[in-house]
Structure 1
């Protein structure tokens, strides 16, 4: 698959040298690149200008301020269905497992070869279905959204109930309703739908 300039990559990393080398690699592969020194700067950009249909985020997982995992949670909270590829120099397996469990498209350890990154981006773009996920997410009620946030954080129904001051039975009802709206039968399918990987 050949990248075209309508494919945008949002690059988030607090190390400027890493961003510059990635920009060079990605522009050589015909991707349009926008880079950010931290997750909050990316979120401001996404609030200011809607992302194109074909885009993905390549983000460091450990950053000062908002981490990559916190960025992942915030994207779900805002209903932004953008494939997310994490990169890290730490090789932290538990973080990788958590990121993938919550729907990350891929996880790459630094240093990596350029073809590995390009392939990960092309795969993420090929499996991305933004309209389906964003339309379905927009149909959720405020309470269903809160329950969904709890599920995406890996919380049990009882914990979600305590946090929202409602009964576990009510959480189960909201959970059942939101899964039906999103066409998911289990949490794995739910994370794929939420992050546009259905």
Structure 2
């Protein structure tokens, strides 16, 4: 057991109990914190209640009863949750997985797979997603997003930022959502970490 991945949470979504159990065991042995869910709906319920930590990754089956992995991907994007997403696919689902990659999935792995392949996919998804955050992503903010960010960092409410910048609170909300997505932050604490380079 290694603590190298301490503070990194993996959300595992698969409707097969046996597969979930073996993946949880593999990932916990590697030092990841793991939460397993039998459905996409169950995962969404959890992250609505408890926003994911800064270093998180979703590993999801692509084909499930109820909401599919692709629908989960689309719902996460809709909510502005920029979590790296790895799909696990059955043999016939490669075209689906390729489509998922086009829409921003980090990787896909075909079942059955060896444990090191899963670990490697997760590690590369997390490093591709991570701390380029602050420096790189800050440079990608528009001038207006920088102004809104400065307001947020000063502890100002959207309404006050809107007054300062002579724009509507709705526009501030839009800029706020965009800059948080660019910085991979889901709340002000994560945003502060990203800006201070502690992501």
The TM-score by the shorter chain falls in which range? 0.5 to 0.7
Deviations 1:127-162 (A, max 9, x none): 1148678xx7xx7xxxxxxxxxxxxxxxxxxxxxxx
Distance 1:125 1:6, change over 3 A: same
In the alignment, is the contact (CA less than 8 A) between 1:88 and 1:108 conserved in 2? yes
CA contact (8 A) 1:7 1:31 kept: yes
Q: Residues of 1 paired with 2:15 and 2:184: CA distance?
A: 24
Kindly indicate whether the alpha-carbon contact (under 8 Å) linking 2:58 and 2:84 is maintained by their aligned counterparts in 1: yes
Is the 2:13–2:58 Cα contact (8 Å) retained in structure 1? yes
In structure 2, distance between residues paired with 1:54 and 1:64: 28
Counterpart check, 1:119 vs 2:120: yes
Residue by residue, what CA displacement relative to the aligned partner does 1:64-101 show, whole Å, maximum 9, x if unpaired?
A: 00000000000000000100000012342220210100
Query: TM-score if structure 2 supplies the norm length?
Result: 0.65
Q: Which residue of 2 aligns with 1:10?
A: 11
**TM-score, normalised on structure 1?**
0.65
Q: Give unpaired runs (5+ residues) of structure 2.
A: 146-173, 186-199
Deviation at 1:5, TM superposition (A): 2.1
Equivalent-residue separation in structure 2 for 1:104 and 1:194 (angstroms): 17
1:149 counterpart residue number: none
Q: Which residue of 1 aligns with 2:91?
A: 90
> Which residue is 1:39 aligned to?
40
Mapped to 1, the partners of 2:90 and 2:182 lie a distance apart of 29
CA distance in 1, matches of 2:128, 2:75: 21
Provide the alpha-carbon RMSD of the alignment.
2.8
Is the counterpart of residue 59 in structure 1 residue 63 in structure 2?
Answer: no
CA contact (8 A) 1:54 1:125 kept: yes
2:58/2:86 contact within 8 Å kept: yes
Looking at structure 1, the residues matched to 59 and 183 of structure 2 have their Cα atoms a distance apart, in angstroms, of: 18
Report the Cα offset of residue 4 of structure 1.
Answer: 1.8
Report Cα offsets for 1:145-181 as digits up to 9, x if no partner: xxxxxxxxxxxxxxxxxxxxxxxxxxxxxxxx99xx6
Superposition deviation, residue 63 in structure 1:
0.1
Structure with larger Rg: 2
CA shift for structure 1 position 195: 8.1
DSSP 3-state at the match of 2:48:
helix
Q: Which structure 1 residue ranges, 5 or more long, are not aligned? A: 140-176, 183-191
